[in-house]
A and B are shown apart, each in its own frame.
Chain A
Amino acid sequence: MSRLYPRLLPGAASRRFKDLQVMGPQPPKEGEEPSLADAVFAATGGTRVTGPDLTKVRFDLVERASASGFPTQRSRTGYAEFDVSVARYLHGACGMVPGEAAQRSVWSYFGLVLVPDICAWRYPANETRGFLDDRFVGADLTRHTLGRLWLRAHLLFDDGVGDPYGLIVALGEADMDQILARRLDVAASPALVREIVRAHRDDPRAGSGPKDRDVLRDSLKRLLRLAAFLDLDSLSRHQLASLVHEARDSSRRTLESR
């Protein structure tokens, strides 16, 4: 049974984001439960989280963020640790089924009500544009501070190995974004994404010749072309691995010849 999380209505999300730009993040006050004003739940299909449940989720997220430098220290290493730790937590411990986690308004609630302070730490305001709305408002699952982490864990979750989340650490944020940007084709198939990440992680020629990132990006273009006429979901793991290695070999040859 899924746990159902509050969904922040679009109008309220816009309002709260404007307030965020002016006043900065306004997290729930110490000792108070996160507000459910302007929030709705799915009608049925699971058990609604309670105020204490939400308080616990906030506590857990703050604990993980604090271990990575929140609220004062910011570093690339800290952010990477936060991403890995929170991806595991959101996917493994929050009890959200994929349908619920794909609801953008759920992530608006997380970003603007439950943990706006963490999102503001992870993606601070810049001088010209202030805070970026898609890091707080759940407009795009691949861009939201926390939604993208749930998606990353979901795509890379591998039930057949000792640590099912082991692949999360294999790819940095920028490289993972390259995959997520191809959501309709490559990233629509979790099994393919896992093979892409495995091949990138285990490439014996990594560090020599063309840059690893260039090989990844070029191979994604090749896989994208194949996805136009191949049903990538019906292939076995072995077949997918062959396809990915073939694409990477072609990319490496092309890049080396330039």
Chain B
Amino acid sequence: MSVRTYPYRTPTADRVVADSWVRVSTSDVEIFGGPLEGWDYATDLHLRRSVVVDCDGVRSDAGLRTDIPIRICVRSRPSSSLIRTLEATVPLAAGGRQSITLDVVVAGRNLAGAVTMETVLELAEDVVEPAPFTAARASSMLWRDEAAASLDGDSGLLPVAPVSFSAAGLPPGAAWYVSLDTARWEWAAMGSLLVLLNTDNPAVNAALEDPTTAGARSLLDTLEVDLVTDLVGRAVEDERFRDSYLAAGDEDSPDDDFSLGSLVRALVRVRLAQPNESVDEALSRLRELRAGDPSYYRAAVQHGLGYPRSEVG
């Protein structure tokens, strides 16, 4: 762990007490820090935290006169471009203990990979005739902390395209259509797979507008189980998949090459295989299940995925 040392006096850590950042959405509040599910460039991050600053203590510890203005700034930094953006500036001119709420909206268009939120307590202006070993320049940092959350993980996500089914000639009342090109199992999974969401369907539209509601989560859970049932089912039935993957051992067919076939193997290994069952054994079992009792096969997939994962209510 690296420790940043400043060339001037700084306040002790207990002079600033900051709550965790929380992500605010229309239907929920969650602690900022874990992976942000459902994020994309069109999703701005509304974040909030409370900070209590002992302004007199800060100035005293840092050797600053009581009239020196200080402020809190918030800046964001995505891991992809590394370009920082100033999100908020809150002056703390008065003394005593000041309690403030930082409320920022980070533009989704600037983000990718992971985002780090940095909170900085700093000098608001240059100090005229500063005492020795005290901060003197405007924006000198006196205290800072940071919190990060991963967004899309620097990789491609499940391709989803909202389209009007009536305009596209698809069943107009449907919720979604999984477009799966299984001609080549070794092709990139995300290039072979496309989920079309029907914008004519009110429930789908509502889920697209706010994917954090209970109804939207339930819908997406159902989409997930439908997609996996379809994908794995088509794989175990397809001789080309069996030829290219089933015959090979786990060591010979790594499932980290992003291909459609590898995606199937990874899903089976992580979600659908039973304890002490190899991927190939699980694929054989699922193929027999699907051929003999398709309903049981669907139930096995639901069990493997823990469907429904979200709380419905």
List A residues at the B interface (Cβ < 8 Å). Answer: 1-2, 7, 9-12, 36-46, 48, 97-103, 105, 141, 151, 154-155, 183-184, 187-190, 226, 228-235, 239
Contacts of A97 in B (CB 8 A): 41, 109-110
Of the listed stretches B15-23, B61-69, B75-83, B268-276, chain A binds: B75-83
B156 and A7 form a contact (CB under 8 A): yes
CB distance from B44 to the nearest CB of A (A): 11
Q: Which of B77, B89, B110, B190 contacts A234 (CB 8 A)?
A: B89
Q: A101: nearest residue on chain B (CB-CB)?
A: B81
Query: Would B41 and A42 count as touching, CB distance under 8 A?
Result: yes
Contact indicator A99/B80 (Cβ below 8 Å): yes
Q: Are B81 and A45 in contact (CB under 8 A)?
A: no
Which of B158-166, B172-180, B282-290 sits within the interface? B158-166
Interchain CB contact (< 8 A) of A36 among B83, B158, B162, B191: B191
- Interface CB pairs A-B, < 8 A, 23: A9-B188, A9-B258, A11-B257, A12-B188, A38-B191, A45-B42, A98-B81, A98-B83, A100-B112, A101-B81, A102-B80, A102-B112, A105-B156, A183-B82, A189-B83, A189-B84, A226-B137, A233-B73, A233-B86, A234-B71, A234-B122, A235-B138, A239-B139
Q: Are A184 and B42 in contact (CB under 8 A)?
A: no
Instruction: Verify if B40 is at the interface (C-beta below 8 Å from A).
Output: yes
Main secondary structure of the interface of B (DSSP, over half): loop
Tell me how many residues of B have a C-beta within 8 Å of chain A: 50
Q: How far is the CA of A153 from the CA of B75 in the complex (A)?
A: 22
Q: B residues touching A (Cβ–Cβ < 8 Å)?
A: 4, 6-8, 40-43, 71, 73, 75, 77-78, 80-86, 89, 108-113, 120, 122, 137-141, 152, 154, 156-162, 187-191, 257-258
Residue of A nearest to B80 (CB): A102
When the two chains form their complex, are residues A38 and B161 in contact, meaning their CB atoms are under 8 A apart? Answer: no
Q: Contact between B188 and A231 (Cβ–Cβ < 8 Å)?
A: no
List A contacts of B113 (CB < 8 A).
102
Report the bound CA distance from A141 to B79 in whole Å: 12
6 further contact pairs, Cβ within 8 A, besides A1-B42, A188-B77, A234-B73: A38-B191, A39-B191, A101-B81, A103-B154, A233-B75, A234-B89
User: Shortest distance in angstroms between A182's beta carbon and chain B's nearest beta carbon?
Assistant: 11
Distance in angstroms between the alpha carbons of A228 and B40 in the assembled complex: 32
Are the CB atoms of B191 and A2 closer together than 8 Å? no
CB distance from B57 to the nearest CB of A (A): 20
CB nearest to A243 among chain B residues? B137
A-B contact count (CB 8 A): 142
**Contacting residues, chain B, for A98 (C-beta < 8 A):** 78, 81, 83, 109-112
Judge whether B82 and A184 touch: CB under 8 Å: yes
Which A residues are in CB contact (< 8 Å) with B112? 98-100, 102-103
Question: Cβ of A231 and Cβ of B122 under 8 Å apart?
Answer: yes
Complex formed: what's the CA distance from A246 to B159 in Å? 50
In the complex, what distance in Å separates the CA atom of A7 from the CA atom of B159? 12
Bound Cα distance A167, B174 (Å): 52
Does the CB pair A40–B85 fall under 8 Å? no
Q: What 7 A-B pairs are tightest by C-beta distance, nearest first?
A: A45-B40, A40-B190, A45-B41, A43-B157, A102-B80, A99-B112, A97-B109
Query: Given the complex of chains A and B, what is the CA–CA distance between A37 and B189 in angstroms?
Result: 11
Q: Is B160 a contact partner of A239 (Cβ separation < 8 A)?
A: no
* Given A38-B188, A42-B152, A99-B80; A231-B75 close (CB under 8 Å): yes
Most buried by B among A10, A41, A45, A141: A45
Q: Are A44 and B137 in contact (CB under 8 A)?
A: no
Contacts of B189 in A (CB 8 A): 40
Are A40 and B42 closer than 8 Å at their CB atoms?
A: no
Most chain A C-beta atoms within 10 Å of own C-beta, residue among B4, B156, B158:
B156
Q: Are A231 and B120 in contact, with the CB atoms below 8 A?
A: yes
Instruction: Decide: B159 and A41 in contact? CB cutoff 8 A.
Output: yes
